[in-house]
Copies of this chain bind each other. A is one copy, B any other.
């Protein structure tokens, strides 16, 4: 990736000599941006463009060029790419549209281009890319069409939508958001978001990476990269197409159907991404992390300093409703604040200085609040009073105090119109709206928590292939085969037996004790309950005989008789599935009426560590039912987590499995056993 983002020299192939063209804008940006490497132009029609000589053909270029930007039409891309490869250029960015996003012909062209690149050892960004940028002072590369001159800073931005990317570069100027790297991925036919993410996170110039993704064609790779890198730097993800209608719109736009709308967000969140729902939120977090400091603890406590009650209350509501809490100030802090605050000011947290609070008072109060060990973050709100002085000294001073105390300081300055640029001057996260500052504080704390969790994360403790290979398992397997598979991985089930006659069934039932359950063993019947293939709570030998007669296919396959379990267990749903884009996933939901009606199931990318499974469980609101409930003791979380991990391992070990669903899994209370009561398996997965 270094040759893409820090190339020693660049060739612009197909650059136009006319000034009002995209390629002319790009060339201009490259020159204006101060790029220090060599710029080589290819244009057969003119001798120079803007003072730079033109080579008539790619073949005429000098040796040793790191990167070629192809601005030729789509139909010339293959030929030009081959020429670049012939000239030893190993990195190519294809700007032209007219590929997968433009229908079948384009899709075939894209496939040919990708194959050609692969065959010739060329790495390729695009096609349909809007350029790339690396504003690291050592590189100063702006190879984009951005009409605005982007400011250098510490946010990297990787985008699947070029148009949106260029718009963001424009908006960012008003948001005080400076960039380190920017890449318009285009169709992501070769170089993926995951590879670029890895590069950007490794750059000292980058403090946060923002990603805008529409399709998740390389979702599995991105999830793995996130899981590996989120502990190092915050990764902010905006995934569009989260609703079914949005996913269809995204598909018609990118030519790639998004995966299972609605579930991807949760999976990415649990993989360590900070998932946002809007462009504005993405920019807010970009500002928060590129200019702000990540708190060293995750105490979730903040102090608020304001000169107007209303905005202070709005910020408090926003932060508290997201799980933060107002710090309880130490008595010394309150005393010191009292001594320095204007008469009538409220020195409890939130501290309200009244409209009289001048900058010096603000800074002295901020210092006292930051000195309080119970304060993890400081939010500063200043509504400019009609006559108040408004100088940049406040933000400067706050930035210095944050530095001194090693704590995040965020600001919202609801300023008068007289000096709007004030907001934009200093290196501290500052927002127009108090709620935005509060959201930023929440994000900083969430990331601090995430980083701690990542640092603590160990292995699963579940051995791979614990159950050995299952080569002997019939296809499709019947219920008793599945229970044996689960048992091989340490997941128990109520005692069961395969029986061929009512008498055998009764003998087993007497042995384990009534009541029992009788189930069909016909492997062709997938939806057993709906087909009348399951009879529950059979209390007597007579009922068992009747049930045996009622169950389908007993003559051919026999039936499964199983102990009917009563206890304080909680019914949960546990599943494994293999998604074509996101890879192997673990599913979890609450069982019983809560799930059937409230229908809450969440997913987690595998492999995963125990703390991720804990998060998966907590992400389902109905999981409160696992706690003490209606006089029942709480379910044993650790054993539930282990059972889920073991189920996931079965899926990971058997590429032929598309999906497994255990429903219900009985989550154990105290001395009970965690038991799989019913299990369904779908074959046909293929890693």
Whether B383 contacts A318 by the Cβ 8 Å rule is: no
Contact bitstring A406-436, B, C-beta under 8 A = 1, else 0: 0000000011111010000000000011111
Enumerate A630-665 residues with CB–CB distance to B below 8 Å.
630
Interface residue stretch chosen among A3-11, A467-475, A619-627: A619-627
Whether B417 contacts A253 by the Cβ 8 Å rule is: no
Q: Which of B240, B241, B383 contacts A164 (CB 8 A)?
A: B383
Whether B249 contacts A163 by the Cβ 8 Å rule is: no
The answer to whether A161 and B309 touch (CB under 8 A), given A245-B316, A249-B316, A280-B435, is yes
| A386 vs B385: C-alpha distance when bound (angstroms) | 40
A38 at the interface (CB under 8 A from B): no
Q: Which of B167, B308, B316, B348 contacts A383 (CB 8 A)?
A: B167
Interface size on A, residues (CB 8 A): 89
| A352 vs B255: C-alpha distance when bound (angstroms) | 13
Whether A416 contacts B170 by the Cβ 8 Å rule is: yes
The answer to whether A246 and B167 touch (CB under 8 A), given A433-B278, A597-B625, A598-B622, is no
Q: Which of B22, B244, B309, B597 contacts A253 (CB 8 A)?
A: B309
Enumerate A226-269 residues with CB–CB distance to B below 8 Å.
238, 240-246, 249-250, 252-254
Rank and list the top 5 A-B pairs by shortest CB-CB distance, nearest first: A253-B309, A161-B310, A163-B308, A164-B310, A246-B317
Q: Which residue on B lies nearest to A344, using beta carbons?
A: B102
A368 at the interface (CB under 8 A from B): no
Q: Which residue on B lies nearest to A243, using beta carbons?
A: B320
| A249 vs B622: C-alpha distance when bound (angstroms) | 32
Name the B residues within 8 Å of A279 (CB-CB): 311, 314, 433-435
Q: Which residue on B lies nearest to A21, using beta carbons?
A: B387
Contact bitstring A313-356, B, C-beta under 8 A = 1, else 0: 11011101100011000000000000000001010101010010
What are 30 A-B pairs at a CB distance below 8 A?
A20-B387, A147-B384, A163-B308, A163-B310, A163-B311, A164-B310, A164-B383, A167-B384, A167-B414, A170-B414, A170-B415, A212-B310, A238-B314, A240-B314, A242-B317, A242-B321, A243-B316, A245-B320, A245-B326, A249-B313, A253-B309, A253-B313, A253-B346, A278-B318, A279-B314, A279-B433, A593-B594, A596-B629, A597-B625, A598-B621
Enumerate A1-55 residues with CB–CB distance to B below 8 Å.
20-22, 25
Whether A171 contacts B630 by the Cβ 8 Å rule is: no
| A624 vs B597: C-alpha distance when bound (angstroms) | 7
Name the B residues within 8 Å of A66 (CB-CB): none
Name the B residues within 8 Å of A212 (CB-CB): 310
Q: Which residue on B lies nearest to A166, using beta carbons?
A: B386
Q: Which residue on B lies nearest to A625, using beta carbons?
A: B597
Enumerate A168-190 residues with CB–CB distance to B below 8 Å.
170-171, 173-174
| A352 vs B630: C-alpha distance when bound (angstroms) | 55
How many copies, total?
2
Enumerate A278-323 residues with CB–CB distance to B below 8 Å.
278-280, 304, 307-314, 316-318, 320-321
Q: Which residue on B lies nearest to A240, using beta carbons?
A: B313
The answer to whether A310 and B621 touch (CB under 8 A), given A246-B316, A385-B163, is no
The answer to whether A317 and B433 touch (CB under 8 A), given A22-B387, A163-B307, A308-B164, is no
Enumerate A378-400 residues with CB–CB distance to B below 8 Å.
383-387
| A21 vs B385: C-alpha distance when bound (angstroms) | 11
| A253 vs B254: C-alpha distance when bound (angstroms) | 52
Name the B residues within 8 Å of A240 (CB-CB): 310, 313-314, 317
Q: Which residue on B lies nearest to A213, using beta carbons?
A: B310
Contact bitstring A442-458, B, C-beta under 8 A = 1, else 0: 00000000000000000
Name the B residues within 8 Å of A594 (CB-CB): 593-594
A564 at the interface (CB under 8 A from B): no
